[in-house]
Amino acid sequence: MPHIRVRGLPLEDLESVSDLLVENLAELTETPNSHFTLEYQASTFFAVGGASPAYPFIEILWFDRGPEVKAKVAQAVDDLFRPLVNAGQDITTIFRDLKGSDYFENGEHF
């Protein structure tokens, strides 16, 4: 487990960096590559006046690994996605820390 959701980025761009994203984050979190899932979410963003250009929004659901690892992961995400966006465009990474007591797999608590 971590589960990574990505929106606000063309699918082709995510595909081009997906292997490297998982490899980098696996190394930083000391988690096997096979424990990661990556989800692409096609999205349309709106602002006042209608549809608005999107910016990459990366959501990471995981068991908390502390603030140092979190900062390293956020920087790795930014470094990887930065060449794919316009200069000055925001890239947002948000972490959702899961509790082990709320985690079930195949109906069983771990």
pLDDT on residue 50:
78
Containing domain of residue 8, as a range? 3-40+63-102
Give the CA diameter of the chain.
47
Total domains in the chain come to: 1
Domain with 78 in it: what CATH number?
Answer: 3.30.429.10
Q: Is the pTM of this model over 0.75?
A: yes
Q: Which of 15-24, 53-62, 96-105 has the highest mean pLDDT?
A: 15-24
pLDDT on residue 29:
96
Residue 68 CA to residue 91 CA, distance in Å, equals 19
Residue 106 CA to residue 92 CA, distance in Å, equals 32
29 vs 108 pLDDT, higher one: 29
Residue 74 CA to residue 77 CA, distance in Å, equals 5
pLDDT on residue 32:
96
pLDDT on residue 52:
75
